[in-house]
């Protein structure tokens, strides 16, 4: 609980301070409703102070050089390792994440810190040939300056780290605006980690606020050159339009409607295990989660029976208990919306091989089948523990159904032939696709992002270098140029 007392504040220019807004964001435990913290919101004036502090600090940080920056990232990793147990507990309390989910998030965030320390030394200049005699073309890669990072509620520590760590490693300064459901794990915790790691003041700022208070000030402010956002496609579309009009770059990790496809030659038991994880990890509140489970008609009966049995056996309850596999969804509004969605699907003709109950914010898993083709349910993102079982007739039909979605983030296919799976994956319009595995994958060294309404840009590895640096051409003329007049 100490994090929620210590870190429930704004962090601007190296100082912890109370916001000057007229209302508080209340941080609740989604499982038991316990009040964890109250944070007075930051105003547009405080957003300005955070960005101006970042702007002032960035030049010296860039000049410090990659080895000095790497040392800070390495110390941040050590701090994270020392605090790992407390961070796990905070994720359970603030997000309602199960213990296994929290351990996964913290462990992978540490891998991203390791990757960021490597990335500090990664940018390389180039010398390029010229058509002009005596001309030397030098291409430098430099930081963009200041990055605005808007984090999500579902994996706030991991996803925010995916932007913050490489941005700092590459010589930028950062202002973080956490989701109001996770202001500590997604906000104040970063300030604590990098403060203890010795990051100079001003380079990382955290403003806890909401658009109801500041409007678009976080996006429209003249200082940030890149806005990195993870969240819904509706909000992402607004950010893209607003930032684009101001010639700002965006990196948008948005929603998904991923499909896990089971071909007729798949290992059914293994595919069932992958599908259960892909749909129900963190209560299905994952952008890569498999909304749709597509199964070849020839094996649909066997798969459906085994899948329903596994789902029905999942334990829903207190996320602090190690046996719990399904914890609470993030809030009551979301729980009620999921219950209404299931009721509407059943009224429209779907069946429920597994029908879970809703108890407060605990939404037990539901499996829906027999959904009419063309139903809006098949093309929307369902951010919760509701799985859709869909049958198909052959591989061509499966490709058609998978691609019939406005989203294109992730997916998976299960088959006895890995190369058949690769050929299938190549036909899917998505940023990521996995053969004989879960739809939920992330790797610090591999480009992560989506197509269509699932986002713009990529993160991780070399893609993060592209996202948070820019290229500058400097030419040197050896000898004298000849000018036409």
Say which DSSP state 188 is in: I
Catalytic residue, candidates 55, 94, 253, 381 = 253
**Sign of torsion over alpha carbons 219, 41, 180, 9:** positive
CB-based burial, 374-403: b 16+ in 10 Å, e otherwise: ebebbeebbbbbbbbbbbbeebeebbebbe
State how far the Cα of 313 lies from the Cα of 349, in Å rounded to an integer.
25
Q: Kindly report the CA angle at 299 between 295 and 305, in degrees rounded to 5?
A: 85
Residue 271 CA: distances (Å) to CA of 181, 334, 414: 34, 29, 6
Question: Six-digit token pair at 2?
Answer: 């100490």
287 catalytic residue (yes or no): yes
Catalytic residue among 115, 287, 381, 395: 287
CA 104 – CA 251 distance, rounded (Å): 24
Cβ burial of 241 (10 Å; 0-12, 13-18, 19+) is exposed
Question: Are 35 and 42 spatial neighbours (Cβ–Cβ below 8 Å)?
Answer: no
Where helices occur in 40-153 by DSSP H, the ranges are 44-64, 66-82, 84-95, 99-119
Q: Does the annotation count 115 as an active-site position?
A: no
Pair 467, 457: CB distance under 8 Å: yes
Maximal C-alpha separation, the chain: 83
Residue 272 backbone phi and psi in degrees, to 5: -60, -45
Return the active site residues: 253, 287
């Amino acid at each position: 609980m100490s994090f929620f007392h210590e870190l429930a504040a704004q962090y601007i220019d190296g100082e912890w301070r109370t916001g000057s807004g007229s209302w508080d964001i209340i941080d609740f435990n989604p499982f038991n409703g316990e009040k964890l913290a109250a944070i007075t919101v930051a105003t547009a004036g405080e957003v300005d102070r955070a960005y101006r502090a970042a702007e002032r600090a960035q030049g010296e940080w860039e000049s410090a050089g990659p080895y000095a920056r790497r040392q800070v990232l390495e110390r941040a990793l050590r701090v994270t390792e020392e605090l790992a147990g407390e961070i796990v507990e905070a994720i359970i309390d603030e997000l309602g994440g199960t213990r296994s989910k929290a351990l996964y998030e913290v462990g992978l965030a540490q891998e991203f810190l390791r990757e960021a320390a490597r990335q500090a030394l990664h940018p390389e200049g180039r010398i390029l040939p010229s058509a002009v005699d005596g001309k030397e073309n030098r291409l430098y890669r430099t930081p963009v300056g200041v990055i605005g990072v808007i984090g999500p509620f579902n994996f706030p520590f991991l996803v925010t780290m995916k932007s913050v760590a490489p941005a700092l490693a590459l010589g930028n300064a950062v202002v973080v605006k956490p989701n109001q459901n996770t202001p500590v794990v997604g906000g104040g915790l970063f300030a604590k980690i990098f403060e203890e790691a010795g990051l100079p003041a001003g380079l990382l700022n955290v403003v806890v606020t909401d658009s109801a208070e500041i409007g678009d000030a976080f996006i429209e402010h003249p200082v940030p050159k890149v806005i990195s956002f993870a969240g819904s496609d509706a909000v992402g579309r607004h950010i893209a339009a607003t930032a684009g009009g101001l010639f700002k770059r965006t990196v948008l990790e948005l929603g998904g409607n991923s499909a896990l496809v089971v071909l007729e030659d798949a290992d059914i038991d293994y595919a069932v295990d992958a599908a259960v994880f892909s749909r129900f990890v963190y209560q299905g509140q994952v952008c890569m989660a498999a909304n749709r489970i597509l199964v070849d008609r020839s094996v649909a009966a066997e798969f459906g029976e085994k899948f329903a049995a596994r789902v029905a056996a999942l334990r829903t309850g207190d996320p602090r208990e190690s046996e719990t596999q399904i914890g609470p969804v993030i809030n009551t509004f979301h729980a009620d919306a999921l219950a209404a969605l299931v009721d509407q699907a059943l009224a429209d003709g779907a069946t429920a091989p597994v029908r879970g109950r809703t108890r407060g914010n605990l939404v037990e898993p539901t499996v829906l089948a027999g959904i009419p083709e063309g139903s809006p349910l098949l093309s929307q993102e369902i951010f919760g523990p509701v799985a859709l079982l869909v049958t198909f007739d052959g591989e061509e039909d499966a490709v058609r159904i998978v691609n019939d979605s406005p989203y294109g983030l992730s997916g998976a296919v299960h088959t006895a032939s890995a190369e058949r799976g690769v050929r299938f994956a190549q036909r899917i319009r998505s940023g990521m696709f996995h053969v004989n595995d879960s739809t939920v994958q992330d790797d610090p060294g591999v480009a992560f992002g989506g197509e269509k309404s699932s986002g713009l840009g990529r993160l991780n590895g070399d893609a993060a270098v592209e996202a948070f640096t820019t290229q500058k051409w400097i030419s040197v003329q050896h000898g004298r140029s000849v000018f036409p007049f």
